[in-house]
């Protein structure tokens, strides 16, 4: 919560020289991007500072509330966050809520490929 996956950060750090030479893009999927892009943008800015990578293209997509996969404490913490956050997030902890527009993620990737890779 509040940070990007450590494995992704490590991958970017290890491959920074390659990422800087090649056309590259970054998309972030997080619950923060659902209804509060300023918070999600701050996570991306922190990721960029941590890794040194400044992708030319960045996109933000809403994430998910996977209550059925959380332990007792995390489930109730996430319910409180969902209740307090703008954007009408689900609070029924007996089910999951996926807010990710996967078609949008696919379009983002396809557009990037068409513009930066194929169109080069």
Closest CA to 8 of 48, 61, 64: 48
- With contact defined as beta carbons under 8 Å apart, do 50 and 94 qualify? no
Q: For the chain, what are the domain ranges?
A: 1-63+102-115, 64-98
Q: What is the pLDDT along the chain (120 residues), one digit of tens a residue?
A: 678 889 999 999 999 999 999 989 999 998 888 877 888 899 999 999 999 999 989 999 999 999 999 999 999 999 999 998 877 899 999 999 999 999 999 999 999 989 877 765
Give the model's pLDDT for residue 75. Answer: 96
Q: Go through 49-62 and write b for each residue having 16 or more CB atoms within 10 A of its CB, e for each that does not.
A: eebebebeebbbbb
- With contact defined as beta carbons under 8 Å apart, do 82 and 90 qualify? yes
């Amino acid at each position: 919560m509040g940070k990007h996956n450590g494995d992704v950060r490590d991958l970017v750090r290890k491959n920074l020289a390659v990422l800087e030479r090649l056309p590259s893009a970054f998309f972030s999927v997080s619950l923060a991007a659902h209804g509060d892009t300023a918070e999600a943008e701050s996570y991306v800015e922190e990721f960029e500072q941590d890794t040194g990578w400044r992708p030319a293209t960045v996109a933000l997509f809403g994430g998910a509330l996977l209550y059925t996969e959380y332990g007792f404490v995390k489930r109730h913490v996430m319910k409180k966050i969902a209740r307090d956050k703008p954007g009408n997030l689900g609070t029924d902890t007996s089910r999951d809520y996926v807010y990710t527009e996967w078609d949008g993620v696919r379009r983002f990737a396809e557009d990037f490929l068409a513009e930066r890779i194929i169109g080069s």
